[in-house]
Structure 1
Amino acid sequence: MTTRPVGPVLVLTGLHDVTADVVLRILAEHRVPVVRLDPGTDLHKGAALTATYRTGDQRGTLRTPTRELDLTEVRSVWTRRPSPYQGPPGLGDQERRFAASQSLWGVGGILASLPGAHYVNHPWNNRAAEHKPAQLATAQRSGLSVPSTLITNDHEQAREFAAQHSGGVVYKPLWNTPCAIDGTPQQVWVREVRPHEITPAVAVCPHLFQAKVEKAFDVRLTAVGSRVFAVRIDSPDLDWRRRQSRMECAPIAVPAGIARSVSVYLDTFRLVFGAFDFAVTPAGDWYFLECNPNGQWAWQPDPVTDSIGHAIADELRRPLECEPARAGDGAQARPRQPGPLWSTTSM
């Protein structure tokens, strides 16, 4: 059986990730060594990554102008929000695309294959869990209720689907693809559509149409391992993300059946963390809408944000000697880590 290292936590994220800062402060309080790296940019700023593979042996190092990290000592990896691999500036377009691709497959492969490290979440599991059709299928198999959904590039099928649902149908993109109009970034929000609005242009690519849920409110449920944290969201908008300044949030209890199904869902995708969105009807029925395996959570009320931050920090500190949970947070025993504190500044 492989024993996990008890060295530093490796946090893969951008320099200005304030959500990561919440957890890094907690790790600092517990004197857990942390190395923060944005591989998409830091490797163009003096950092160097090396890995060697031999029969029965795997080693690696991360070097910066000020330190060297033995990758075999990394205890856990938090895949937060690293910058995309875009290649170093100053190259021509073709050379930069080549360098970006080699970085994705090389650097990404090294950091996703650290021996014994605990991943929150593993980047390959994140990618698998980001496909909405897979999310819907897994939610169904996990025992969650799912709104009637159609994914198609046939506009006649789409029109027929919309006509069959008297309560209305919404459209949502299958992926949050960046787009711009006249150089201005645009966001595609969830919106209601009527049968006559669906044109043959649907044939260009698959579209996701979903029966509109008659909801009393939305819920964002954040799962970290076996712990769940939820807030009720009241918003005047169909898509509460559109104008977050107009929404109101408050902690809400999670029904036991929903918590069990969420656990099954995470296990299916081999995830430690997931940000689930539900629509709740006036009758109290919870409908699964989607799960972002790497969703934002620091925008929630301070007590909820603090609890999520501690739960993630606990996952990253494993496996260690345990200490008692803080009173009132509903958590189980927490691991304790002695030792020196490393700088948490970006490498």
Structure 2
Amino acid sequence: MSHSGPVLVVTMIDDPTADLVITELHDRDIPVVRLDSGDFPATLSITARINEEGISGTLLTPTRTVDLHTVRSLYYRRPSGFAFPHLDEQDARFAVTQARYGLGGVLASLPGCLYVNHPHRIGDAEFKPSGLAAAVHSGFKVPETLITSDPEAAERFVEGNTSTIYKPLSTPLYRVNGVSCTVEVAEVSAGELDERVAGTAHLFQRLVDKVADVRVTVIGDRIFPVRIDSGLLDWRTDYKQLSYSIVTLPRSIEEALRHYLAHFRLVFGAFDFAVDRDGAWWFLECNPSGQWAWLEPPTGLPMVAAMADLLERSPR
């Protein structure tokens, strides 16, 4: 099996992190094919054959033809969704499903390919309850968490903790007056809870009395821990208030990181921790498709090079 072929980068057109990695790979003379699965079938096509020898075929973009057998690695970032606006609702739903399981199934089955990360493994790890349970099993400290649709259970949980926060279980974008928004992490009181809790599943979590946050980015065998000081409940709400510093990773945390990634069969993960006043690290989440490149300029950490090494499959 040849690993001298291209790196396949699957992401949306506007992805600055992917741009940096692709530039680094180009500088190393590593062939790269970038595509957005959402371009299928308008400007992207697939022909795959499966027989007793396995899967083979080609992927065709407007500028490249890719032999599926030669792809050395696939960097799965944030592709846009499939869309068939020319079809009515029922036919479009059928077409989207066929595209997902057809093109998606082929991209998930490339022989000898290193996935960063495999899309199916990303899907597994994106479920917050699964991630929190795996974190406990891996040896992390995890704030007490309740997932419920029962208003009374939610009220009891909030009343039983000094401070409680609400987190969305997933963060789909929605629009307010045409502006894209997300549901922010926020403190919640028992008085705010009512029968609307019964409308869907909710995640409530004991608030860690933190002094700082830490983002730990794992890229293959490389680990990049960065302390984030902000004074904010959720540092992602205002990047202008953040300051960064490289922090020493406790050995117990490194062992737990490896265990967690092995559990989900991931080679990349963006881990978030809250550090309390006693210096304990509390696991908050791991994003298997998380952002990381913005941390390189203020810290000098060679993260882009590390990702390029991984995709190149280089031991350097």
* Interval containing the TM-score (normalised by the shorter chain): over 0.9
Give 3-state SS (helix, strand or coil) of 1:300's partner.
helix
* TM-superposed deviation, 1:303: 6.2
Indicate which of 237, 246, 252 corresponds to 1:251. Answer: 246
Over 3 Å counting, the alpha-carbon distance change for 1:193 and 1:65 in structure 2 is: closer
Bigger relative CO (Cα 8 Å, ≥ 6 apart)? 1
Equivalent residue in structure 1 for 2:69, among 46, 68, 72:
72
Following superposition, which runs of at least 4 residues in structure 1 exceed 6 angstroms of deviation? Answer: none
Matched, 1:236 2:231: yes
List runs of 5+ in structure 1 lacking aligned partners. 321-332, 335-347
Question: Is 1:110 the counterpart of 2:100 in the alignment?
Answer: no
Aligned position for 1:281 = 276
Aligned to 1:48: 45
Partner Cα separation in structure 1 for residue 31 and residue 272 of structure 2: 33
**TM-score computed with the length of structure 2 as normaliser:** 0.95
Which residues in structure 2 correspond to 1:1-347 (within 5 Å)? 3=1, 5-41=3-39, 43-45=41-43, 47-87=44-84, 89-166=85-162, 168-302=163-297, 304=299, 307-318=302-313, 333-334=315-316
1:6 positional shift: 2.4
Distance in 1, matches of 2:258 and 2:291, equals: 19
Quote the offset at 1:239 in angstroms: 0.8
TM-fit CA distance, 1:291: 0.5
Aligned to 2:235, the other structure's residue is in SS state coil
AA in 2 matched with 1:230: P
What is the CA–CA distance in structure 2 between the aligned matches of 1:24 and 1:94, rounded to whole Å? 38
Q: Report the Cα offset of residue 305 of structure 1.
A: 6.8
1:189-247 superposed Cα distances (whole Å, 9 cap, x missing partner): 11001111111211111111100100000111101122210211112321111111222
8 Å Cα contact 1:4-1:118 kept in structure 2: no
Distance 2:293 2:300 in 1: 5
Q: CA deviation at 1:119?
A: 0.5
Using the alignment, how far apart are the partners of 2:192 and 2:303 within structure 1? Answer: 41
CA contact 1:229–1:304 (8 Å) conserved in 2:
no
In structure 2, C-alpha distance between the alignment counterparts of 1:96 and 1:197, rounded to whole Å: 40
Q: Which residue of 2 aligns with 1:323?
A: none
TM-score normalised according to structure 1 size: 0.87
In 1: Cα distance, 2:82 partner to 2:6 partner: 24
AA partner of residue 84 (structure 1): G
Farther off after superposition, 242-251 or 305-314: 305-314
Q: Secondary structure at the match of 1:216?
A: strand
Contact (CA 8 Å) 2:245, 2:299: kept in 1 or not? no
Question: C-alpha distance in 1, partners of 2:198/2:76?
Answer: 36
Distance 1:305 1:20 in 2: 18
Listed one character per residue, the Cα deviations across residues 61-83 of structure 1 (whole Å, up to 9, x for unaligned) are 01234442211111111101111
Partners of 1:243 and 1:73 in 2: CA distance = 43
Q: 1:254 to 1:221 in 2, by over 3 A?
A: same
Q: SS at the partner of 1:208?
A: strand
Give, in angstroms, the shift of residue 95 of structure 1: 2.6
CA distance in structure 1 between the aligned counterparts of 2:226 and 2:51, rounded to whole angstroms: 49
**Unaligned 5+ residue runs, structure 2?**
none
Deviations 1:266-295 (A, max 9, x none): 000000000000000121100000000000
Tell me how large the CA RMSD over aligned residues is. 1.7
Q: How many residues align?
A: 316
Q: Please tell me the residue identity of whatever aligns with 2:276.
A: T
Distance in 2 of aligned mates of 1:304 and 1:102:
44
SS where residue 241 of structure 1 aligns? helix
Note if contact 2:5-2:72 (Cα within 8 Å) is conserved in structure 1.
yes
Deviations 1:156-177 (A, max 9, x none): 11111111112x0000010112
